[in-house]
Amino acid sequence: MSVRISVKHINDKYKLYTKSDAGENPAGNRLARGDPLPNDRWEYDSEFEAKEAARKLQLYIDQYERKRKKTTRKNKRLEEQEEKLREHFALHNAASRQA
């Protein structure tokens, strides 16, 4: 099941929401997956802060999902390159959503 983080503008605030097969729900502490969450707020005054927090939370969730998948072990350098590429794509997608 894939989880996507989105930002909604509600009552002059920008709030983080999760979208999945189960529907759309507000983001919250229940998303913690062992490692500390990258943010501790779910409501922001500026759109930029909200989108940056959504990007970090999405990377956090994607990293956890990758750990759960049954795959063959790749070499460490290749995994680091793939992680940098995923971060680049996340930045690019965030920038395209702003436009």
Mean pLDDT of 33-60: 90
pTM over 0.85: no
Please state, in angstroms and rounded to a whole number, the distance separating the CA atoms of residues 94 and 80. 21
The pLDDT of residue 1 is 56
- Tally of domains in the chain: 1
How long, in residues, is the chain? 99
Q: Under 8 Å CB-to-CB from 14, ≥6 apart: which residues?
A: 7, 8, 43, 44, 45, 46, 47, 49, 50, 51
Question: Residue 78 — very low, low, confident or very high, per pLDDT cuts 50/70/90?
Answer: confident
5-18 pLDDT, tens digit each: 999 999 999 999 99
Tokens of 95: 């920038």
HSE, CB side, 13 Å, CA atoms: give it for residue 88: 6
The parent domain of residue 40 ranges over 4-98
Mean pLDDT of 54-66: 89
Q: Where are the alpha helices (DSSP H) in 1-99?
A: 47-68, 76-98
